[in-house]
Structure 1
Amino acid sequence: MRGNKGWLDSQFEYSERHGISIPCLESDWEELSLEHQTAILEKWEMIRGGIPDHIMRFEAMIRAKTQQLFEEDDFVRSCLINGDIADLASRINDLNIWFRTQQDLDGDAKMHIG
């Protein structure tokens, strides 16, 4: 698999919203060879290992926004800050789902794609 890094990279798509590459398989999991499945899983585990750091970064941003919200007197501005907090919380939720996503090398398990 090492010689076909381009193919492996094409199985992932970078998500600006989440700050990570997300699986975007071109074929059904069951149609992939064991070698390809293994390569995808190895790459995914490397990406997956960084998810907690991304979550912590978003949590820090939420804390900063929450502090801004406590200090904000303008209603319209506070609504915008609240929207920012909700968006960051949604990103954390998505990342938690991706972090819990695991794929096995057997045909019974399915990879969450979305």
Structure 2
Amino acid sequence: MDEIKLNKMYMNQEIKNAVLEVLESGYYIKGPNLKDFEASFKVYIGSKYAIGVSSGTSALFLAYQELNLNPGDEVIVPSHTFIATATPLAFFKAKPVFVDIDPDTYCMD
């Protein structure tokens, strides 16, 4: 299996410029670009709603919350991931079940 590149950035120049604008503004959370992002993102994904959050951990917490997890429920998560994929499950007393990834796609199979 090839080495999994964890630090390769896949971003076009337009996105890089937008990220730089946010970083230079100092508004990382609830800044002036948030409403525009939420409006654009909900159109992009075809949703009625979109909520920008401060981190991937917060996003996963909200996603898990919407699953209405009960204590002891098992949630399948990839073993090759950041710890934040599993840690929000502790709040719901759910059990992460780690599975291997496909060596070609690096996704769960």
Quick check: TM above 0.5? no
Higher Cα Rg: structure 1 or 2?
Answer: 1
What TM-score, normalized to structure 2? 0.21
